[in-house]
Every structure is written in C-alpha cells, then in structure tokens.
Chain A
Amino acid sequence: MVRSIVHTAALIASLAFVADARAEGLAPYEITGDGIVDSLTGVPGDAARGRALVLTRTTTCILCHSGPFPETRFQGDLAPDLTGAGNRWTVSQLRLRMVDASRFNPDTIMPSYYRADGLVRVGRNFADKPILSAAEIEDIVAFLATLRD
C-alpha cells in the first residue's frame, strides 16, 4: 500500500514523455505508466548473454544481489534475491528499473544503469557514459524475465 503510493507519486512526476537521453549517445526512450514498453535497441535481448552479464562483477549486479547462481559464492545481500523477479515484474517494469531505478524509489541505492547526467565526481574513465549499453540492458532484461518460480 505504502509502496504503491510512493510508486504512484514517483511515476506521476514522470508520466510525461521523457526525453532523458540528454547525455550524448543515449538512445531516447519513452516511459509509459511504470515502465518502458519498447526495447531500447528496437530488438529483443538475449537471455543467455544477460545471465552472463549479471554474473560479471564489473556489471555490479551481484555486488548487491543474490540469485539462482549456484556457480558463485560471491553474491551480495544488500538487495532482494533476484529469484522470481520475472514473476514480480513485467518486462516493461524491469526495463525501467534497469534504466533508472530511482523512479521507483528516489532513495534507492540501486544505480541507474542508463543515465549519464546528474552525477557527482564521476571517474575519468566513466564520465558521460551510462554504466551499461542499451544492448546490455536488453540482454539483462530478457534474462530477468526468465526468472520465474
């Protein structure tokens, strides 16, 4: 209940068409309701590649999350286990969460993976770049959608 109110408030602010692609190189995307309906690349992602990406440390997901990944002990517990994420969220919601989780919860510690502005003291090698590319996000979204109990 509380969650859905926060949800709604955050979303009202963002209901309008968002051309959040101000930073150069970011594909424009449109937020509809509480998600992004269309693939950022125009084509569906690859779930197998997405799984490999989620498990790569440099992608940072498993620093915080755990999930159905028996092959690695190095999983975080700062965030919900990803098992069943595909039941809890639609593809459209997963895509918006990856692009900008702060739209669901302004205080979240989950980084916005497809954003390159509004950040402080970004390291030289990372400046003006999103953490992940549009194609990587699509692969991860495709993988998350397969996480069903």
Chain B
Amino acid sequence: MILWRAIVLAALVATAPALLAGEIPPDARRSGYFFMGPDTRAMQDDDTSNPGMLFVLDGEALWAKKAGSADKACADCHGDARSSMKGVAARYPAYDKALARPVTLDQRINLCRANHQQAAPLPYESHDILALSAFVAHQSRGVAIAAGDDPQAKPFVEQGRNLFMQREGQLNLACTNCHDDNFEKRLAGSPITQGQPTGYPLYRLEWQTLGSLERRLRSCMTGVRARAYDYGAPELVALELYLMARARGMPMETPAVRP
C-alpha cells in the first residue's frame, strides 16, 4: 500500500512539472472567453460580427502581396496559409536556432521580411503586423497550444515563470497574485481572468482595436505601476512563452474578443 503510493507519487513527480503553490491545475484552466458576458461571447462566436475578422481579411491580402526589394510575397514561399500555417501560431514563441532565443510570431514575421523579402520591419502594434499575425494565428483556431515543448526553450519558459511570480511596481503585485490566486474575483467590479493567452492578437472593446499579447502584458505592468518592458524585450517574450506553456493544450481562439 505504502509502496504503491510511493510509486504513484514518483510517477507524478516525474511526468508533470510540479505545480507551484497557487498554479492552476490543467483541468481547471479557462480562457478569458469563459469570464465574459453573453454579448461579448456572441460577438466573438460570429465571424460576421467579430471585428477581429476585418484584420484577418487584411492579413490575407497582405499575405499575397509582394513586398521588399526581393519582390516576394509570404505566399511565394509558404503557399496556401490554410495548410502551411495551420498550428504554427500554437507553437509560438518558438526557439530560433540562429538567434539562440525564442521569438514571437510578430518577430518571426519581421525576420521573414528582413531575410526573405528584404523589407523594412513592421512596427509593433501597427495595423499591418497585427493583420498578418491575426491571419496566421487564425489558421490555428481550435488547435491545441503546444509552445515551450522544445528542450532549448525550457530555460526561457522558466525565466518567464519567475517573472510571472515576481512582485513588481509601486503596488508590489505579481501576475500570479491576480491570475493564479484571484481569478474568480473582481477588481473594481470587473472580472479578473486566468490571463490565458489563447486569443491573440485579439479585439478588445476597451481598446477599440486589435492588440497583441505584449500590449496586454504591458498594460498589466502599468496597472501595478511598474515600468513596462519594451515591445520585443527578452523578458516580455519569456513571459509570453511561459503563458503559452501554461496554456498548453488549450485551443487557440484568434481573433478573440475581450471586454
């Protein structure tokens, strides 16, 4: 009996990375969708009323449009995104061997622009980068998130997890204080969710536009009166990677709608 228990325990420890106190067990994870009212859900569910779909359509046009001095379109290398891009966003941020660090989908798009199209990078949060990443990530809608599996990405997942647990800012709060410990509660009347990254880039009614996961994380940092990391900063990428690894197996929703 005792032996049997010891074996079960050992097996548990060996398979799942132990959850830290407060971390959400896999079967208790919920997308932000779950916390929204019926109107916002309906808006996300119906492609004809989901404002994010306009960006997806723009992204589809950009996919086929030649750019840069190489005069090549994304489609010239990748063909039909419906097959070539299916499941790709669910694995991002992904480890880049040449750079020896993880890169976000936005950064990958700009690497393609630099290396294969000889085109200038699209600025973070610009319409075109959001449209392209929404189009690419939309090809993964419904696909289970699988980021952070690459052994070389592990140290960066760990870095992101440490950042998630770290208190910061004048209010001295960590991501985990709200998104692991208090997701059933309300902050000044609005629901706190688990902070799952399943729907990005997504349309936020508060923003009146599509925005990236980095934009969201920066506003949480500003909310606790911390100095937000710059777009593309290694710390922000590590946090994104941890969030995606934490959401492992949850289906992608891009483009989601949030209040």
B154 proximal to A (CB < 8 A):
no
Interface string of A102-144 (1 = CB under 8 A from B): 0000000101100000011111111001010000000000000
Query: In whole angstroms, how far apart are the Cα atoms of A124 and B10 in the complex?
Result: 47
- Whether, in the assembled complex, B36 has its beta carbon less than 8 Å from a beta carbon of chain A, the answer is no
Chain A proximity mask over B163-181: 1 for CB below 8 Å, otherwise 0 = 0001111111100010001
Q: How far is the CA of A63 from the CA of B186 in the complex (A)?
A: 8
* Interface 9-mer from B58-66, B80-88, B222-230, B236-244: B222-230
B189 at interface (Cβ–Cβ under 8 A)?
yes
B28 part of interface (Cβ distance < 8 Å): no
The reply on B20 being an interface residue by CB < 8 A is: no
Q: How far is the CB of A67 from the nearest CB of chain B, in Å?
A: 13
Please, how many angstroms separate the alpha-carbon atoms of A73 and B189 in the complex? Answer: 7
9 contacts between A and B (CB under 8 A): A62-B188, A78-B182, A109-B173, A111-B170, A119-B168, A120-B169, A122-B170, A122-B225, A125-B225
Q: Is the interface of A mostly helix, strand, loop or mixed?
A: loop
Residue ranges of B at the interface with A (Cβ–Cβ < 8 Å): 166-173, 177, 181-182, 185-190, 192, 221-222, 225-228
Tell me, rounded to whole Å, the shortest Cβ–Cβ distance linking B20 to chain A: 14
Q: Which A-chain residue is minimally distant from B170 (CB atoms)?
A: A126
Chain B interface, DSSP helix/strand/loop, else mixed: loop
A125 to B118, CA, bound (A): 40
Distance, CA A21 to CA B173, complexed state (A): 22
CA distance A13 to B181 in the complex (A): 27
Q: How far in angstroms is the closest Cβ of chain B from A43? A: 26
Whole-angstrom CA separation of A62 from B187 in the bound complex: 8
Cα A63 to Cα B177 with chains together (Å): 14
Tell me how many residues of A have a C-beta within 8 Å of chain B: 24
Q: Name A18-71 residues within 8 Å CB distance of B.
A: 57, 60, 62-64
Query: Would A119 and B170 count as touching, CB distance under 8 A?
Result: yes
- Roughly how many angstroms separate A28 CA and B188 CA in the complex, as a whole number? 32
Whether A74 sits at the interface, judged by CB under 8 Å, is: yes
By Cβ-Cβ distance, the 7 closest A-B pairs, closest first, are A74-B189, A126-B170, A120-B168, A63-B188, A121-B226, A74-B188, A126-B225
A136 to B143, CA, bound (A): 51
Taking the nearest CB of chain B, how far is it from the CB of A74, in angstroms?
Answer: 4
**Does A84 reach chain B (CB closer than 8 Å)?**
no
> A121–B173 Cα gap in the complex (Å)?
11
